[in-house]
Amino acid sequence: MDWLVDGIAAFSSGDNRSILLSVLTVALSGAFAWRYRRLYRKAMDENDNTRELIEHLSEGVYRSSIDGSQISANRALVKLNGYEEEEEMLASVSDIAAEWYVDPTRRDQFREILHQNGYVEDFVSEIFRHKTRERIWITESARIVYDKKTGKPLHYEGSVREITETIARLKLEEKFRKLTSHLPGGLFQLTANSGGVSKIDYLSEGFHRIAGIPLRRHYDDASLFHSFVHPEDREAYVDAFRNSNLGLTPIDHEFRIRTADGQEKWLRMCAQPEAGEGCTTWYGYVSDISLRKRQALEIEKLAYFDPLTQLPNRRFLVERISAAVGECGRNGRKSLLFFIDLDNFKILNDTQGHDVGDAYLREIAERLKGCVRDTDTIARMGGDEFILMIEDVAGDQPAAEAMAAGAANDMLAALRRPFELGEIRHSSSASIGVVVFDGTERRVDEILKRADIAMYQAKSTGRDSAALFDPSLMECENERYVLVGDLRKAIADETLELHYQPQIDRTGKIVGAEALLRWNHPVLGPVSPLRIIPLAEQSGLIGSLCRFVLKTAIRKLAEWSERPETSQLRLAVNVSVKTFGTSGVVRFVEDLVAASNIDASLLTIEFAESVTVTDNAAIASRMRALKEMGIRFSLDDFGSGFSSLARLKKLPFDEVKIDGGFVTDIENSESDRALVRTILAMANTLHLEVVAEHVETKNQEAFLHAFGCDCFQGFLYSAALPATEFETMILSAISGTQGPEHLDQLIA
């Protein structure tokens, strides 16, 4: 600009001033024009840059008219609507509200907010991708552009961003939340770094229900849940995570917690670890298994505990004895085993009812608990048998035996106290077998067997006592064991026999016989029924034995029915009450009678007198079922102490048999004579026939005959004979051949 300065200096005087002013005016105008063009170009460049920026934004930008027409759209918005070019899109869209929004009312809501506030932000709507009609989700923000002079709205300017994936994810998260909120357990994501610091990444609502603690507190303190784990289970809980972290192995662990309100719950945790940069993340599930645990404990209780007394049962006891045997072997100490059998429990249970018997057993359990330490074991073996075991006994064999004797005496004293329930008073006592074991004998069944043998030894000495196992008793027990096996085989092979003792009526005629069991052992020779029956009852063979007797007797009646001289003979057989108490016995007898085609009225089933104190209803029902076929029933050993008139009337008996002990002494004992007269009178009142057994003298016969006895049986007439001899005797007597003394005079 130096030329301008110089020019101004040259023409600064005289007439040149006007020329100077003109030149200066032109120069300034040119300068201003040049500057304006430069600013305009800059503004245009900035505008182009802005348009290019908007065009390349990933978010859609638009301008639309107030009435709903699209004015402009950037490339992102064009593509969002499924078009390639802006012109194509603008030409296709005529009504934004009707063509774009899935719910057209959303456009009205959008405009209402816009005109109320002048702008709208993050307005979420479901729209159509205009060209393809695909439904998508967007979020939209906009403002109204006003005329600066008039203040009237000119158009809308706004931006649109597609959030379809976000909405889909939110919907999935909502579904996931709803699903997990109804799960019985809780989902979790937990991360622990190498320094041992943990943080909760995710917890489902189930954790709140499980522990009773708001989820926020779990997020704030990742170790909070650990503090609720039961102290006894805490170490194993930590080890489960430690071991999983070391080997990246899954966790499957059960443990207990104490909830915020004090409840104890059992939980199961299953989790899969995943290694990361300096950390491990577990994705897992925790479920409440308290119900299953309670059920498992109930099942275990049923499996290992007696439901009546709540004491351990045989199964539990066997495991405890086995463990004690092993411990004795390791520490060189001893253990004591007491086999306790209650005396006369059956009488109490049968006469007073099972509810009284159950109450008695429960009291016995409590008494025994008071005799030992909490660490000792008391078990109920079943019925009226209990086992008590004292472990970890120091000292030598004599010292252990002395301690066992003292403990047994304490138990006997506790069990001697009378049992009282209401008006019932029962003199209580027990027989106790004692075994001291040191681990030398490792078989549990052998230890129990020895205690059982010792208990029977105590019983044999008069009961209410204790006996220490004596090894010499094993010989007798081993013989009994062998005899049981032989008896089982004899029953199966039907090598047992029935002998027949005749029964005589008042006219002197043989009207039948009683079948009596005989066993001729191949080594021992004849074995007394007094030994056979208890052996069968103790070994569980009594049912098989009674079925053999019934089958053999009915078979013999079928043979007799084919011969005129024996076709009217009656036959009586003894059946145990226990066998008759089984549900299948009626069908068994019915089938035998039907198959043999005998006259059922010729068969008499005899029961011991104890039948009157058993379950009368069940026994009576089975008796009546067989009586409908014609079978008769006899009450054996009547008068020996169990029967009463009231109980006798409840059972459908046809006859009673006077106990042989009374018959034997009627010649010498006035009390026995009075008792026999009473029995005969009572039977006559009840319309029952009376059979007297063990008749050995004519004076006995005469007395019984005089007071109305109906039938006689005993050595006065004949001993029990094998079948062939009995039948030969009958035929000989009929033909007039001399038979056994006195018998030939009695056969008509």
Convert the pLDDT of each residue in 117-150 to its tens digit: 989 999 999 999 989 999 999 999 999 999 888 8
Helix (H, G, I), strand (E, B) or coil at 714: coil
What pLDDT score was predicted for residue 197? 73
Convert the pLDDT of each residue in 17-69 to its tens digit: 666 666 667 667 666 667 766 766 665 656 566 567 677 787 889 998 888 78
Amino acid at 326: G
H-helix segments, 193-338 = 206-211, 215-220, 224-228, 231-247, 290-304, 314-331
Convert the pLDDT of each residue in 698-739 to its tens digit: 999 999 999 999 999 999 999 999 999 999 888 887 765 444
CB atoms within 10 A of CB 267: 25
What pLDDT score was predicted for residue 53? 65
Of 133, 114, 135, nearest to 125 by C-alpha is 135
pLDDT at 555 over 60: yes
pLDDT at 305 over 70: yes
Among 170-184, 292-306, 374-388, 403-417, the minimum mean pLDDT is found in 170-184
| CATH topology identical between 183-294 and 306-470 | no
The DSSP code sequence of 213-234 is --HHHHHH-TTHHHHHB-HHHH
Q: Cβ(519)–Cβ(526) under 8 Å? A: yes
Helix (H, G, I), strand (E, B) or coil at 57: coil
In the CATH scheme, what architecture does the domain 306-470 have? 2-Layer Sandwich (3.30)
What pLDDT score was predicted for residue 42? 65
Helix (H, G, I), strand (E, B) or coil at 468: strand
pLDDT band at 172 (very low <50, low <70, confident <90, very high): confident
pLDDT at 211 over 70: yes
pLDDT band at 745 (very low <50, low <70, confident <90, very high): very low
H-helix segments, 125-230 = 164-181, 206-211, 215-220, 224-228
Distance CA 479, CA 484 (A): 9
Domain 482-653+718-745 has CATH 3.20.20.450: yes
pLDDT band at 747 (very low <50, low <70, confident <90, very high): very low
Token look-up 């253990």 returns 335
* 438 phi and psi angles, rounded to 5 deg: -125, 15
Report the interhelical angle of 444-460 vs 473-493 (nearest 10°): 100
What pLDDT score was predicted for residue 473? 66
Q: What is the percentage of the chain residues whose pLDDT exceeds 70?
A: 87
* 606 phi and psi angles, rounded to 5 deg: -100, 135
- Name beta bridge partners: 257: 229, 265
Q: Is 537 left (phi over 0), alpha (psi -120 to 50) or beta?
A: alpha
Q: Which two tokens stand for residue 465?
A: 């006592």
Distance CA 385, CA 313 (A): 11
CATH code linked to domain 56-168:
3.30.450.20
* 643 phi and psi angles, rounded to 5 deg: -80, 155
pLDDT at 320 over 50: yes
Average pLDDT over residues 545-573: 93
Sequence length of the chain is: 748
In the CATH scheme, what architecture does the domain 183-294 have? 2-Layer Sandwich (3.30)
Domain residue limits, the chain: 2-53, 56-168, 183-294, 306-470, 482-653+718-745
Q: What is the percentage of the chain residues whose pLDDT exceeds 90?
A: 35
Convert the pLDDT of each residue in 577-627 to its tens digit: 888 877 788 999 999 999 999 999 999 999 887 666 655 677 888 899 999
Report the interhelical angle of 585-596 vs 616-627 (nearest 10°): 10
What pLDDT score was predicted for residue 726? 93
- Encode 66-96: b = buried (16+ Cβ within 10 Å), e = exposed: eebebebbbbbbbbbbbbeebeebbeebeeb
* Averaged pLDDT of the chain: 84
Distance CA 748, CA 733 (A): 9
Q: Cβ(181)–Cβ(193) under 8 Å? A: no
What pLDDT score was predicted for residue 134? 92
pLDDT at 472 over 90: no
pLDDT band at 185 (very low <50, low <70, confident <90, very high): confident
Q: Please enumerate in sequence order all residues whose Cβ is within 8 A of that of 490, keeping only pairs 6 or more positions apart, or say none.
A: 496, 519
Element at 578 (helix H, strand E): helix 577-580
Amino acid at 685: T
CA distances from 389 to 308, 312, 372, 482, 606 (A): 20, 12, 9, 29, 43
Distance CA 212, CA 208 (A): 5
Of 647, 637, 642, 747, nearest to 692 by C-alpha is 637
Convert the pLDDT of each residue in 481-538 to its tens digit: 788 888 999 999 999 999 999 999 998 889 999 999 999 988 888 988 888 888 888 7
What pLDDT score was predicted for residue 7? 55
pLDDT at 14 over 60: no
